Amino acid sequence: MKKQSSSFKIFSLSTVWLWLCVFALIPIILTLTTSFLTPDSNSIVKLIPTISNYLELFNPGYLRILLQSLYLATSCTLVCLFIGYPFAFIIARSQHQHKSLLLLLVIIPFWTSSLIRTYAIMAILKAKGILNTVLLAAGIIHDPLQILYSNTAILIGCVYDLLPFMILPLYANIEKLNQEYLEAARDLGANWFTTFFKIVIPLTIPGIIAGSVLVFLPAMTMFYVPVLLGGAKNLLIGNLIEHQFLTANNWPLGTAISVVITLLMGIFIIIYWRHSKEDDRESLT
Amino acid sequence: MNNNIIELKGVSKRFGNYQALTEASISIKNGEFITLLGPSGCGKTTLLRLISGFEKPDTGRIFIDGRDVTDLPPEKRHLNMVFQSYALFPHMTVYENVAFGLRCKKTAETEIQKRVLDVLRMVKLDQLAERKPNQLSGGQQQRVAIARAVVNEPIVLLLDEPLSALDYNLRKNMQIELKQLQRRLGITFIFVTHDQEEALSMSDRVAVMNEGYIEQLGTPKDVYEEPTNLYVAEFIGETNIFNTEILEIRDNKLMVEVEGKRFAFNNKKDLAEKQQIHVVIRPEDITVWGENEITHEESKNMLPGDVEQVIYKGSTVELIVRLPSGKKIAAAEFFNEDDEKLDYHITEKVWIDWVPGWEVILPHEETI
Amino acid sequence: MNTFSKYFYTICVYIFLYLPIAVVIVFSFNNASHSLVWQGFTVKWYTALFHDNVLLRVAGHSFLLGILAATSATAIGTLAAVSLFRYRFFGKKILNALIFILILSPEIVMAISLLLLYSFLNIPLGFWTLLLAHITLCIPFVTVTVYARATTLDTDIFEAAMDLGATDFTIFRKIIVPLLAPAITSGWLLSFTLSLDDVIISYFVTGPTFDILPLKIYSMVRLGIKPEVNALCTLLLAFTLLVVMISYQSIYKKKD
């Protein structure tokens, strides 16, 4: 039965569409367009179409930054996965009465300002920071570790920031895992190791993918974490874009970088989408 | 050499405040098809899980083939389970599901292939080996679950309400197939169900359970015809129950008054005078006679009544008859050539009797 | 895996998650202006904060912005969620995809695209550009939160209401909103914290006329570790904790 469109429906849809068109779709189109225009020192852009912005990206300097960002994002994702998976698994399968409290303790950092948490890592890692103070006092090291302002610090900061984003989707997925699969595996003679790698991991792949995407995407475009923890010398893609917009005044180049990154991310988003659909289908069994 | 393949001695299990099993002891014979029967919460699934090793008992010991396995984890016991929801691994094909147990034991691939295909042929699923579970019907998934368990040649197969998700006809067929499978394999089957018809039709022995206790363990005939208490009598089949007392014992027969008439019953349970008893008679053991069929002499040993309801059930007809005291009796009669008169109508006056010896006398229990 | 190693592992991870925050909180009470060696308990950094007029004004700005952004985003996001749940319309799949993309897309991309929009329309950067950006940021999160809850509703009640003569608006007002109230509240709170904590988008689209807290903190933090910053962060952490608790309560209370 086809309904007449009610005035409320029209109002809702128009409001939503109007807002999103003006503040999401049009800006996206503008970004795309600008990436094909020429920079101009007076009025931001000259209306001369060109693909030179994209060609400039093949400059080894830029490629190096891209690779570094990829490297950071991948390392961050893997570390988060290795730390986060066992953790999510233990909590999700526990029979503990305070299970929801345990989960809440993970959600709290998730809601907290990531800037504040990055700052907290600074406090720990700096030369006169907690880590060094403790290690020196314990006699484990004799000179303070210069971790701050290095790639390692950026990685630590990144993992610290994004770990809850890995844990939460993993938890949600592992919790839904039917206990009977594990029992059936044990009944058939599988030891813990086999059960984990042949049954648990394959059946929780949607969670792994969800968590990985939610960590990888922000990790690629982090921009204040490298500034605070890496000092001025470690440039990543986020910093590069910022530089083009706010310092170098080369907006077309900045947008070109953004477009390329977005396309790269688009691939990951599609993988995520596909797997979340499959998850729905399998859980109907 | 002990013929008991599984023995539980004094096994108890509690979950929080809930006592699931109390001091249960049972011996299961090698090669038998035994059913644990009871309503939800009676402890049958707990008992099964204790045998399989997924739960540990609070008290008591568990023996498999003479060996004390109480502390042995499930993967080390030579048993296999068919789960109620089948628990087929959704990301593996039928073949891989069935091969899983053999792969865990590091069996050679060639032998795995032979044994898996053999067992799939046995359950008639060899054509579907490459399918995934979500591409199979409920009945097919069921058979994969059985195949996956059986291919490991366990000494005992445990089945946790495996047929409860199937529709009526499929269920009936699977009951026959399971029974045939058990005979063919020759291994012990421990079957859990709440369906008493299923239990009676498939089992060599039945353990009737209630609230953590095993009420009676016996052949289907035993539990049906000679229930040891009111619970078993009422759980299995239909019953009519008369509450009365033994007036006296004469020639080792119990003189009892039921609904105003005197009866002499056999004293199988060594009961005493003045003892309160229940007289249990199954509806199908009761014969109903029309007023015109009975002479005055014969009616002295029968109970009079009025037909209150006639329920036509296809192969049988069930009559609800109201006795003068107000008590209602259910009587079930088969349509057959010998008794032409089964055409009773409501308010008709009838006479009730039964074959002497077919009643069951039970000592009085408080809970009624 | 035995029980001891399970406990040990989870506790280690919790320590990892909370130790840095704990350090910040503890040292906000430290009576030393530079070092991280404990030199006695004090609340002077907190009192200093409350006397810092600039900081108070900036904090006020952030709260005002947060409230306005959260409220508008919740309104629009709820309409979007309800429309996606109830209606079939042209472009529904596109809307779905757009929300999905907006949530996952990096903030920096959204930031520069809005910057482009504002330049194109010649809007000076300041309060309004910031507000509109924050609302756009928060809408998808509200939509997803409310939609997830909406899928647990029984659509028969809408049919029953229509059968009794209710208009769409009435159904929305009297049935949908009350039933989805926990999710809507949660969406509001999530938007509020997102706005309060947002650094990236604000960095690009704000102007000198409207200072907000996260940017102020960012500039302070770039200069290094300072006790006043510790105190400020502790206050914000406490505030966020409060918000999470309220959000959790509102979901779990209504769940029965």
Q: Write out the DSSP string of B250-292.
A: ETTEEEEEETTEEEEEE-TT---TT-EEEEEE-GGGEEEEEGG
The verdict on A177 touching B (C-beta cutoff 8 Å) is: no
Q: Do chains C and A touch (3 or more CB pairs under 8 A)?
A: yes
For the stretch A66-100, pLDDT in tens is 888 999 999 999 999 999 999 999 998 887 777 88
Q: CA–CA separation, C25 vs C46, rounded Å?
A: 12
For the stretch C34-93, pLDDT in tens is 666 777 888 888 888 888 888 888 888 999 999 999 999 999 999 999 989 888 888 888
Chain A interface mutation, best of B81, B116, B146, B150, highest count of A Cβ atoms under 10 Å: B81
Residue found under tokens 């849809």 = A13
A257 CA: distance to closest CA in chain C (Å) = 10
Q: Percentages helix, strand, coil for chain A, rounded to the nearest 5?
A: 75, 5, 20
**Mean of all residue pLDDT scores within chain A:** 83
Predicted local confidence at residue A147, as pLDDT:
73
For residue A184, the chain B residues in CB contact (below 8 A) are: 81, 83, 87-89
Predicted local confidence at residue C133, as pLDDT:
94
Using CB atoms and an 8 Å cut-off, which of residues 226-285 of chain A contact chain B? 281-282, 284-285
pLDDT-derived band at C149 (thresholds 50, 70, 90) equals: confident
DSSP-assigned states of every residue in C27-40? HTTBS-SS-SS---
Among candidates B34, B28, B35, which has minimal Cα distance to B66? Answer: B28
Residue found under tokens 């909180």 = C25
For the stretch C151-195, pLDDT in tens is 888 888 888 888 888 888 888 888 888 888 888 988 999 899 899
Tell me whether residues B134 and A285 touch, CB distance under 8 A.
Answer: yes
Residues of chain B whose C-beta is under 8 A from some C-beta in A?
52, 54, 73-75, 79-81, 83, 85, 87-91, 100-101, 104-105, 133-134, 148-149, 152
Q: CA–CA separation, B254 vs A65, rounded Å?
A: 101
C155 CA: distance to closest CA in chain A (Å) = 15
Q: Nearest by CB to C20, from A123, A241, A273: name it.
A: A123
Q: What are chain C's partners, defined as 3 or more CB pairs within 8 angstroms?
A: A
- Of B324-333, C32-41, C151-160, C205-214, give the lowest mean pLDDT range: C32-41
A85 CA: distance to closest CA in chain B (Å) = 20
Chain A residue with Cα closest to B136:
A285
Chain B residue with Cα closest to A202:
B91
pTM above 0.90, yes or no: no
The average pLDDT across B306-310 equals 90
Highest-confidence segment of A51-65, A123-137, B68-82: B68-82
Q: Any alpha helices (H) in chain C, and if so which ranges?
A: 3-27, 44-51, 53-86, 92-104, 107-120, 127-150, 156-163, 168-171, 177-197, 200-205, 213-222, 227-254
Among candidates A40, A48, A47, A63, which has minimal Cα distance to A248? Answer: A40
**What distance lies between CA C113 and its chain's CA centroid?**
21
Q: Which amino acid is residue A79, in one-letter code? A: V
For residue A214, the chain C residues in CB contact (below 8 A) are: 104
Q: Nearest by CB to A203, from B73, B91, B104: name it.
A: B91
A144 CA: distance to closest CA in chain C (Å) = 14
Among candidates B135, B34, B139, B147, which has minimal Cα distance to B98? Answer: B147
Secondary structure of residue B243 in the 3-state scheme: strand
For residue B89, the chain A residues in CB contact (below 8 A) are: 181, 184-185, 199, 203
Tell me whether residues C167 and A8 touch, CB distance under 8 A.
Answer: yes
Q: CA–CA separation, A191 vs A181, rounded Å?
A: 13
Q: Are B233 and B280 in contact (CB under 8 A)?
A: yes
Chain C interface mutation, best of A112, A155, A235, A261, highest count of C Cβ atoms under 10 Å: A112
Predicted local confidence at residue B127, as pLDDT:
92
